[in-house]
Amino acid sequence: MRKWLKVLRLEKRLTQSDVASMSGIDVTMYNKIELGSRTPSVETAKSIAAVLGFDWTLFYRDEDELMKTGTEGR
């Protein structure tokens, strides 16, 4: 699970449906990305990052490292 992604989404007071719609992707796909069962394409990662305001490369970093550092790169 990408806990950091959920935290960022909740900080913005957005639902998964909100983020999916604003990113131009299906809510089911967003859900799978947030759960960690799918890795987004670069294009999708950039779209989600633009909506939530973080560095899109966070999707390709180690989850444990991100949680320890407090999601640096926002």
For residue 35, tell me if it sits in a domain.
yes
Task: Note the pLDDT of residue 38.
Answer: 94
Span 13-40, pLDDT tens digits: 999 999 999 999 999 999 999 999 999 9
Whether residue 74 is contained in a domain is answered as no
Q: What is the pLDDT of residue 1?
A: 86
Specify the pLDDT at position 42: 97
- Here the CATH number for the domain that contains residue 38 is 1.10.260.40
Model confidence pLDDT, tens digit, residues 42-55: 999 999 999 999 99
Number of domains in the chain: 1
50 inside domain: yes
Please give the Cα distance from 62 to 4 (Å, whole number): 11
**Residue 61 pLDDT:** 82
Residue 28 lies in a domain: yes
Burial (CB < 10 A; 0-12, 13-18, 19+), residue 68, is exposed
Range of the domain at 42: 3-69
